[in-house]
Amino acid sequence: MKSIPTLATTMTPFPHSIDVNQPIKDAMSMMDEHGFHHLPVTEDGDLVGVLSERDIRFLDSPFSRASLDDDLYVKDVYTSRAFVVDIHDSLEDVLHIMAEKHLGSALITKNGKLAGILTPNDVYRKFGELIHKLKARPDGNDAA
């Protein structure tokens, strides 16, 4: 292995985001259209949290006072206590925390601004690439 992966090489860069004052139905449409499970939430351009598919599904549960039929906004549903890390933080440390706390995403910032998002799918993709590189033989013969 020539280099150890970093947050910058593993995350999804420049993720879509949504403002807290947008209707929840707009967020749901965006998530459905792009296949997202996590959507960073901003207010006046500043990162304030994350909206997850789980947050939206909760609205259909018997524990919720609201429902998807209500006129809801992102600010009514999103999680303000998101896991936010700096792009220069260690990927290893971030992954350990995500696993320990059962987190579905990490919002990555650079100079205090949203730069990316790290989800399990990003980690699976990078791990698959690493396995492929480790399997490859120098003579070009990849057969086992």
Residue 64 lies in a domain: yes
pLDDT of residue 137: 66
Cα distances from 81 to residues 32, 103, 105, 137, in angstroms, run 23, 11, 12, 45
Cα distances from 97 to residues 47, 85, 94, in angstroms, run 20, 11, 5
Tell me how far apart the alpha carbons of residues 63 and 26 are, in angstroms, rounded to a whole number: 23
pLDDT of residue 32: 94
* Domain range enclosing 77: 7-135
User: pLDDT tens across 57-78, in order?
Assistant: 888 777 777 766 678 999 999 9
pLDDT of residue 89: 96
Give the pair of three-digit tokens for residue 84: 């936010």
Specify the CATH number for the domain of residue 70: 3.10.580.10
Tell me how far apart the alpha carbons of residues 61 and 27 are, in angstroms, rounded to a whole number: 19
Tell me how far apart the alpha carbons of residues 126 and 117 are, in angstroms, rounded to a whole number: 14
User: pLDDT tens across 85-143, in order?
Assistant: 999 999 999 999 999 999 999 999 999 999 999 999 999 999 999 999 888 766 666 55
Lookup result for tokens 């980690």? 123
Residue 40 lies in a domain: yes
Alpha-carbon Rg for the chain in angstroms = 18
pLDDT of residue 143: 54
Residue 115's contacts (CB-CB under 8 Å, 6 or more residues apart) are: 11, 13, 14, 87, 108, 109
Residue 107 lies in a domain: yes
Q: How many domains does the chain have?
A: 1
Name the pTM for this structure: 0.85
User: pLDDT tens across 37-62, in order?
Assistant: 999 999 998 999 999 999 888 887 77
pLDDT of residue 93: 97
Residue 2 lies in a domain: no
Kindly indicate the confidence band of residue 12, based on its pLDDT and cuts at 50, 70 and 90.
very high
Higher pLDDT pick, 144 / 121:
121
pLDDT of residue 139: 63
Residue 100 lies in a domain: yes
Tell me how far apart the alpha carbons of residues 60 and 29 are, in angstroms, rounded to a whole number: 17
pLDDT of residue 1: 52
Residue 144 lies in a domain: no
